[in-house]
Amino acid sequence: MGSASGVENISYDYSFKILLIGDSGVGKSSLLLSFISNSVHDISPTIGVDFKVKLLTVGGKRLKLTIWDTAGQERFGTVISSYYRGAHGIILVYDVTRRETFTNLVNMWAKEVELYSTNHECIKILVGNKVDKDGERVVNKEEGMALAQEHKCLFLECSAKTRENVQQCFNDLSLKILEVPSLREKGSGMVKKHTMRQKHIYGTTQNGGCCSQ
Ligand SMILES: Nc1nc2c(ncn2[C@@H]2O[C@H](COP(=O)(O)OP(=O)(O)OP(=O)(O)O)[C@@H](O)[C@H]2O)c(=O)[nH]1
Ligand SMILES: [Mg+2]
């Protein structure tokens, strides 16, 4: 009975916006696909901007993640600020087999994040992808950890291909977002709007928040 309703009718506690950024070919779309659909296959470069929605439970909270994916090779001018606006979490991806994708995170992507993100407490996670390509690795784990520490990011190495640490990446990020009151509050504001549309969902209200009247 309960599962008769579609995704639209599934209730959640918080709604978070997550961005994937990094150079072309590092595996942003593959990571997203691997997380969303549990399947891995070769995909084409992204054109423009795409997003996917995933519901998951972490730390006892039901979350709706809207994950935005964009083409690494495209600089999309005026759209860029709306891509970053309101993001709760940002996944900065590099390819452990291509050093330039790692250095570009510092030279280009990190600066862009600073310039455009509107939530200053927004959580970032640095992700070294393609660890399955063992013999081809050129960026070691220590370098990744050091960069993450310098930029106050979480850090993980993963493989979209074998799915190693893929779930972990989204879980760690979500847990950390939940720890920040201002982000939680913004995430529940979005839920409020949603519940007005889906008013039958919430039989119980969560008290104690600043948003309850
Ligand atoms: N071996 C291996 N290959 C991967 C992995 N992740 C992605 N790839 C491959 O790397 C290529 C690029 O992956 P995409 O996911 O399209 O990369 P992207 O970052 O979305 O690229 P743009 O959309 O152009 O920005 C594809 O051929 C993938 O199959 C991984 O973890 N291991
Ligand atoms: Mg892509």
**Which helix (DSSP H) or strand (DSSP E) does residue 82 occupy?**
helix 80-84
Q: Is the CB of 96 under 6 A from ligand 1?
A: no
Name the residue range of residue 79's domain.
12-184
Tell me, yes or no, whether 90 lies in a domain.
Answer: yes
The predicted structure's pLDDT at residue 6? 47
Tell me, yes or no, whether 69 lies in a domain.
Answer: yes
How many separate domains does the chain show?
Answer: 1
Q: What is the pTM of this model?
A: 0.86
Q: Is the CB of 97 under 6 A from ligand 1?
A: no
What tens digit of pLDDT does each residue of 50-59 get? 899 999 999 9
Tell me, yes or no, whether 213 lies in a domain.
Answer: no
Tell me, yes or no, whether 83 lies in a domain.
Answer: yes
**CATH number for the domain harbouring residue 127:** 3.40.50.300
The secondary structure of residue 107, as a DSSP letter, is I
Nearest CA to ligand 1 atom 8: 27
Please provide the DSSP assignment of 151-207 as one string: TT-EEEE--TTT-TTHHHHHHHHHHHHHT-HHHHHHHHHHHHHHHHHTTTS-SS--T
Tell me, yes or no, whether 209 lies in a domain.
Answer: no
Tell me, yes or no, whether 206 lies in a domain.
Answer: no
Q: Which residue has the higher pLDDT, 176 or 40?
A: 176
